[in-house]
């Protein structure tokens, strides 16, 4: 009999390690209506993009799906019971049986304006009657739905209990929602108001309340917090959650088939993207930081940027192909600028002086990479 090869032994060892990691990975049980914001919360906690999360769920039971992160050697699993409002006869018994042997957290997600929460509350009451020891975190999401027209997030983030800074209608619904959760069995829930948006929504920051979410997770389920938060790479998070969304938003804005309409908005998106990257590295965002960044990019970059901006606006007049070419250019320039900002901010955050040539090479390399990414997306029929 032929002895197993080293490769076969390594494959078997990796399989065993994967199975052991998955068996030990704590479960965060997501409960809420469709479109409440569960996927955006998982994206924040794992540092992935929206699309990657949505495509990564696999059926765990007849009524729920499971997302293991990372897939190869999971450190956490998200059990998602989808669309509770459509499952009036939903019985959580099988989902409870699936989850109860693991370290556990219930994460209920409710849109701030939604007061029709009976399906969610009914399920939570059933679950907590059997497991009152399971901690409950309630994420109150989409705060901006109750902002006045043109309103933005109150800054700095006020904390979970200081609701007075929010508009009156929003304050009222947040409090009414919390009263609805008060009668559940078990310990009192922890509430976190959140607003995780996309770049094109126009709210800054896009992950409003993220720090409060991490603080709550640290208090309620320390192993999950430690495995996710401490292992996060700011550069990778910025790439998925900041650079790509802003690049797509800039491309969409600049694709309006009229010169300068959308072009200035696209430039504004780029500036806000660089600011958001600096925030991910916890840098103080002031004029001195931006002067250093622009200085290292150099006068020639600024000149080329201005010329290309004018060219893009002129190309829009070309029937048929103009807006498509402009969208590609805007996406590529924004993406490359974001990657250059990641390099710059990472060096500054680590106390090093960014190298001018390395910064410029980062921009140049990612300009070509972004063009290839855009062509792949458009060929696949994805929405810009």
Q: Do strands 136-141 and 104-111 pair parallel, antiparallel, or not at all (unpaired)?
A: parallel
pLDDT one-digit tens code per residue, 266-276: 777 778 888 88
**Residue predicted with more confidence, 121 or 242:** 121
Looking at residue 4, its pLDDT comes to 47
Residue 288 pLDDT grade (very low, low, confident, very high; cuts 50, 70, 90): confident
Phi-psi domain of 46 (left: phi exceeds 0; alpha: psi -120 through 50; beta: other): alpha
The model's pTM is 0.67
- Domain positions in the chain are 6-229, 234-379
Residue keyed to tokens 């994460």? 107
Distances (CA, A) of 358 to 64, 234, 240: 47, 19, 22
pLDDT in tens, 8-52: 554 565 566 556 656 667 888 999 988 899 988 988 888 776 666
Other C-beta atoms closer than 10 Å to the C-beta of 147 total 17
- Average pLDDT rounded to a whole number, residues 313-336: 68
Phi-psi region of 286 (alpha: psi -120 to 50; beta: other; left: phi over 0): beta
Q: Which of 21, 18, 22 is nearest to 79 (CA)?
A: 22
Give the pLDDT confidence score for residue 264 in this predicted structure.
59
For residue 10, the model assigns a pLDDT of: 47
Backbone angles phi, psi at 105, to 5 degrees: -140, 130
Q: Which fold has domain 6-229?
A: Rossmann fold (3.40.50)
- Residue 2's pLDDT is 44
Q: pLDDT tens-digit profile of 143-166?
A: 999 999 888 999 889 888 889 999
- Positive or negative, the Cα torsion across 291, 293, 294, 296? positive
Residues 174-217: pLDDT tens digits? Answer: 999 999 998 899 989 999 999 998 877 888 888 899 889 989 98
pLDDT digits (tens, 9 = 90+) for 103-148: 788 999 999 999 999 989 988 999 999 999 899 999 999 999 999 9
HEC profile of the chain: CCCCCHHHHHHHHHHHHHHHHHHHCCEEEEEECCCCCHHHHHHHHHCCCHHHHHCCCEECCCCEEEEEECCCCCCEEEEEECCHHHCCCCCCHHHHHHHCCCCEEEEEEEECCCCCCHHHHHHHHHHHHHCCCCCEEEEEECHHHHCCCCCCCCCCCCCCCCHHHCCHHHHHHHHHHHHHHCCCCCCCCEEEECEECCHHHCCCCCEECHHHHHHHHHHHCHHHHHHHHCCCCHHHHHHHHHHHHHHHHHHHHHCCCCCCCCHHHHHHHHHHHHHHHHHHCCCCCCHHHHHHHHHHHCHHHHHHHHHHHHHHHHHCCCCCCHHHHHHHHHHHHHHHHHHHHHHHHHHHHCCCCCCHHHHHHHHHHHHHHHHHHHHHHHHCCCCC
Tokens 């409440």, residue?
Answer: 36
Number of Cβ within a 10 Å radius of residue 172: 13
- Pairwise CA distance, residues 115 & 127, whole Å: 21
Output the average pLDDT for the chain.
Answer: 79
Compute the distance between CA of residue 306 and CA of residue 161 in angstroms, rounded to an integer. 46
């Amino acid at each position: 009999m032929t002895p197993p090869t080293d490769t076969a032994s390594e494959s078997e060892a990796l399989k065993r390690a994967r199975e052991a990691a998955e068996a030990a990975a704590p479960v965060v049980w997501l409960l809420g209506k469709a479109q409440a914001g569960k996927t955006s919360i998982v994206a924040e906690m794992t540092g992935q993009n929206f699309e990657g999360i949505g495509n990564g769920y696999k059926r765990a039971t007849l009524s729920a799906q499971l997302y293991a992160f990372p897939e190869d050697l999971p450190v956490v699993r998200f059990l998602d019971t989808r669309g509770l409002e459509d499952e009036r006869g939903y019985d959580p018994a099988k989902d409870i049986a699936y989850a109860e042997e693991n370290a556990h957290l219930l994460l209920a997600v409710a849109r701030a304006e939604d007061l029709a929460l009976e399906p969610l509350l009914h399920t939570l009451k059933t679950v907590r009657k059997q497991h009152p020891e399971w901690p409950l975190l309630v994420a109150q999401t989409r705060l901006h739905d109750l902002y006045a027209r043109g309103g933005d997030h109150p800054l700095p983030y006020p904390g979970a209990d200081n609701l007075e800074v929010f508009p009156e209608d929003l304050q009222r619904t947040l409090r009414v929602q919390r009263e609805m959760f008060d009668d559940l069995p078990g310990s009192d829930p922890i509430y976190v108001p959140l607003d995780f948006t996309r770049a094109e929504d126009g709210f800054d920051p896009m992950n409003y309340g993220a720090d409060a979410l991490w603080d709550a997770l640290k208090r309620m389920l320390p192993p999950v917090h430690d495995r996710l938060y401490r292992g996060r790479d700011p550069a990778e998070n910025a790439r998925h959650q900041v650079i790509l969304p802003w690049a797509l938003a800039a491309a969409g804005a600049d694709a309006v088939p009229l010169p300068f309409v959308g072009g200035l908005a696209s430039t504004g998106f780029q500036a806000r993207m660089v600011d958001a990257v600096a925030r991910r590295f916890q840098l103080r965002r002031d004029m001195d930081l931006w002067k250093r960044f622009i200085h290292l990019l150099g006068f020639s970059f600024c000149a080329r940027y201005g010329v290309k901006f004018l060219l893009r606006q002129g190309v829009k007049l070309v029937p048929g192909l103009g807006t498509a070419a402009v969208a590609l250019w805007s996406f590529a320039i924004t993406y490359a600028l974001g990657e250059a900002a990641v390099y710059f901010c990472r060096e500054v955050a680590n106390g090093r002086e960014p190298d001018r040539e390395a910064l410029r090479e980062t921009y140049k390399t990612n300009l070509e990479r972004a063009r290839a990414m855009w062509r792949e997306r458009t060929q696949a029929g994805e929405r810009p």
